[in-house]
Amino acid sequence: MKQKKFIRLLLSYLLLAFMVCVIIYPLLWTVGASFNPGNSLISTSIIPKNPSLVHYQELFAGKDSLQYVQWYKNSLKISLFTMVGTMISVSFTAYAFSRFRFKGRKHGLTLFLLLQMIPQFSALIALFVLAQMLGLMNSHWLLIMLYIGGLIPMNTYLMKGYMDSIPIDLDESARIDGASHTRIFLQIIMPLSKPMLAVVAMNGFTGPLGDFILASTILRTPDAYTLPIGLFNLVNDVMGASYTKFAAGAILISIPVAFIFVLLQRHFVSGLTAGGTKG
């Protein structure tokens, strides 16, 4: 029995080590490429022989008319507003589905489940036509609303599952003391739902930050671009593609993600594992 347990433990560690290598190796190559001089990846090595900060300097110095700082601001603006909007809307919808019984409730949950199975890019033509009809092409606010709408179904399921695990006796006790639904929601349910709110916040922030397809459909001018679109243009030009500069810009995208993760870390793990306890 001890030998079998040792073998299972060894295989588990080997699998974990393999997965770490799969994740870390491309990241190390990206970091190494960002410090390599030149624009080609052919002569790039994972450990640069002559490391240089020239690509980072070019991103912020405005050389070659790069608008990296503007793209960075646009991405942060869209991600932050999407995160806040998603947290507010998902909190309301999850509370309604968890605590109230109304006509069409089960059908609404089924619809949310079906919406999760439909890829977002399948509605690109309809969204493009809608943006033109509303005169909101190249609008960050339209893009924020689309992101929030796309994040509601999946995150509502997660939040509802977590709220279902909160004893309803707390609601009834507060109602006996004269508390309204609004007060119960704000002072009881929301404080207890902080772990799942952290998960929803992380999903709302990272989703727009890495999206390219929907953003490139709505945003058309360079000053309105987000980071994924702007960085794609660095490698889209066949004659002037700069892969190493792209690597430097991609590394900098991870800074706000890491910052948000550190802020939410103490809630993140427990919330991630608790959302599916009840359906």
For the stretch 197-247, pLDDT in tens is 988 999 899 988 888 888 988 998 888 899 989 888 877 765 556 777 888
Find out whether 159 and 271 touch, Cβ atoms under 8 Å: no
**DSSP collapsed to 3 states, 29-60:** HHHHHHCCCCCCCCCCCCCCCCCCCHHHHHHH
Low-confidence residues of the chain: pLDDT under 70: 1, 39-45, 62-66, 237-241, 268-279
* All residues at 6 or more sequence positions from 50 whose CB lies less than 8 Å from its CB, including other chains: 36, 37
78 three-state secondary structure: helix
Distances from the Cα of 109 to the Cα of 19, 29, 118, 151, angstroms: 35, 43, 15, 14
For the stretch 61-75, pLDDT in tens is 755 556 888 889 999
Q: Is 241 exposed, middle or buried (0-12, 13-18, 19+ CB in 10 A)?
A: middle
